[in-house]
Amino acid sequence: MTAVFGLLRRFGLAFLLLTLSVTIAGLTLTRYASLGTTLPTPTVGSTPSPVPTPTPSPTPTPIPPPLTARVTLVIDLTGDRVLLDQQSELPLPPASTLKLLTALTVREILHPEEIVTVQSEDEVDPTMESTMGLAAGDTVTVHDLLIGLLLPSGNDAARTLARVAGERLATPSELPPRERFLARMQAKAEELGLEQTIVRTPDGDDVPGQVTSARDLARLARAVLADPELAAIVAMRQAHVRVGGPNARILTLTNTNELLGHLGVIGVKTGTSPAAGQCLVAAWRTLDERLYLAVILGSQDRYSDMRALIAWVTAATGSSPAP
């Protein structure tokens, strides 16, 4: 006992604490041994396993909206990919959407500033057909006729352009001028790769055998938007054109596309007839500088259908229409 007190006096409290630590460690080892348990061995330099980051699930594409249209096609022109295809290759009557092909064909034959004279065979009954308001004896430029063709969808403009352009074509020589132009329209359709388009008139009237498809109209719209003059015309909401001749006047022409200037829409063409129903080819830009195109044929409410498609594209892609 005297020795213990001597050690305490010599080493003090540190010795006592060390002794207690050894005693406790021994008791712990004894307990694990009695339980048959092996003490965990630490791994030198080990680091905790990282917690795996869950992979986010892709956002599901929204279900396409219910539409009244018989045929629908939606394309991301910037990304060159189809977003929605509902019977896009089904041949259907084109109505006035065919005038896109008329305009493209005219551009290859006539100069925009050329002045032509309207003849009686070019006139149409305004109570029965769409018109830009031409009469025999009127003089007007090709450019303004193209405006009359694509804004108010004038059948008189279509017939005048077809006749004058056909007069410049040498072949097929056995055909009258307007028929020669129709032959050139068909050749242009084949050149553009339009596989379902058959041309019978320059205005898209309901006649047996005249058909197109949404896919063909999308190709036509691409070509029109790539032509600076035609792209500028289809973007016009309204235009004033000068008509010369014995009844000189200014015509105010309004675009039939009610969505133009809204929801980023920049064109392209409407069409309506008993056989075709309501048709609409529309292109729109988005805030992130993308360009989309939609074609609807055989619709009962083309503008409601198109609004629904634009909203669907916005939800599916995150690309909001430009103001």
pLDDT score recorded for residue 36: 44
pLDDT score recorded for residue 61: 80
Q: Which CATH number is 71-317 given?
A: 3.40.710.10
Mean pLDDT value of segment 242-249: 98
Mean pLDDT value of segment 251-258: 98
Structural contact between residues 104 and 220, judged by C-beta atoms closer than 8 angstroms: yes
Which segments within the chain are labelled E, that is strand? 71-76, 81-86, 115-117, 139-141, 238-243, 249-254, 265-273, 277-285, 291-299
Task: Round to whole Å and give the CA distance between 105 and 158.
Answer: 11
| Percentage of the chain modeled with pLDDT above 70 | 81
Structure confidence by residue, pLDDT tens digits, 158-170: 999 999 999 999 9
Orientation of helix 99-107 relative to helix 142-150, angle to 10°? 160
Q: Which residues are catalytic?
A: 96, 99, 153
pLDDT score recorded for residue 19: 47
pLDDT score recorded for residue 30: 42
Task: Round to whole Å and give the CA distance between 17 and 101.
Answer: 100
Determine if the peptide bond prior to 246 is cis (ω within 30°).
Answer: no
Distance in Å from the first CA to the final CA of the chain: 98
Residue 269 among known ligand-binding residues:
yes
Structure confidence by residue, pLDDT tens digits, 259-276: 999 999 999 999 999 999
The enclosing H or E element of 167 equals: helix 155-167
| Percentage of the chain modeled with pLDDT above 90 | 80
Mean pLDDT value of segment 89-113: 99
pTM over 0.85? The answer is no
Going from N- to C-terminal start, the domains of the chain cover 71-317
pLDDT mean across residues, the chain: 88
pLDDT score recorded for residue 52: 52
The residue with greater pLDDT, 303 or 30, is 303
In this prediction, residue 59 has a pLDDT band, given cuts at 50, 70 and 90, of low
- Is the model's pLDDT at 112 over the cut of 80? yes
Mean pLDDT value of segment 6-22: 46
Structural contact between residues 320 and 263, judged by C-beta atoms closer than 8 angstroms: no
Structural contact between residues 99 and 154, judged by C-beta atoms closer than 8 angstroms: no
Mean pLDDT value of segment 178-206: 98
pLDDT score recorded for residue 35: 39
pLDDT score recorded for residue 318: 94
How crowded is residue 145: how many other Cβ atoms within 10 Å of its Cβ?
A: 29
Distance of CA 257 to the CA centre of its chain: 16
- Is the model's pLDDT at 57 over the cut of 70? no
Residue 152 tokens, joined: 């108010």
